[in-house]
Amino acid sequence: MGCVIVITSGKGGTGKTSLTGGLGTALALQGHKVLCIDGDVGLRNLDITLGMTDAALMDFSDVIAGRCPLGRAVAPHPSVSGLYLLTAPLTLPEDFPGEAGFRDLLAQARQAYEYVLVDSPAGLGAGFRLAVCDADRAIVVAVSDPSSLRDAQRVVSQLPNLETIHLVVNRVRPRLLRRQGATIDDAMDTAGLPLLGLVPEDAKVVLAASSGRPLAQMSQRGAAKAYENIARRLTGQQVPLMRIR
């Protein structure tokens, strides 16, 4: 039985989708069978992060409506074995069954994949509620500024049924932290969550997406190494936190 992990944030611009793609790639490279589901209806871009632009012809609404089985709707990654994408529709059909349909989809996914990563839309609206409705655990993504961490607190308040919720502090810039007089411990205290990992600010994240290649195929350092470490922690390994200078 696979594990469904929703990756969410209280606001846009935290790098949530980049984390989803990087974490999914890292888990697949470690030998796991991984499905990444883009839950951001109308604003989907997980395919860009994964280097799979226009690779998916069907979306999750096609599976839920019974127009296509899950195994045919997912798109396998062209160069990362074990990594698959199920994209979001541009709009939801009028007869979309809502959370009940998404729960059925996730039940199918648990049977076929070890890890199912759901990239939630930012904010706390209907898209967020759909993405988190049947998750087993959550990763809340924030940057180190106070407003992002406050938004992370609000996200946690909307996840009362999940026992396992972790924080990832993304796009970490040590100089900025020092100028703010802040530490990662402060971020953890503000968000009220245990820390799963730190991801440094890394220009290669944007360059990889622009080139249509997974970050892990361009770099073994920086954000790529951080994604690898987070993936290992998710699978139960003890990995020291990255030192970001």
Binding-site sequence positions for ATP: 11-18
What is d(CA 119, CA 128) in angstroms, rounded to the nearest whole number? 9
Phi, psi values for residue 190, rounded to 5°:
-65, -45
Pull the structure tokens for residue 18: 């980049």
Beta-sheet strand order (sheet of 195-200): 75-76, 83-86, 34-38, 115-119, 3-8, 137-142, 165-172, 195-200
What contacts 151, CB < 8 A, 6 or more positions away? 9, 10, 11, 142
Question: Following CA atoms 156, 161, 165, 171 in sequence, which dihedral angle do they give, to the nearest 10 degrees?
Answer: -40
Binding-site sequence positions: 11-18
What is d(CA 153, CA 192) in angstroms, rounded to the nearest whole number? 7
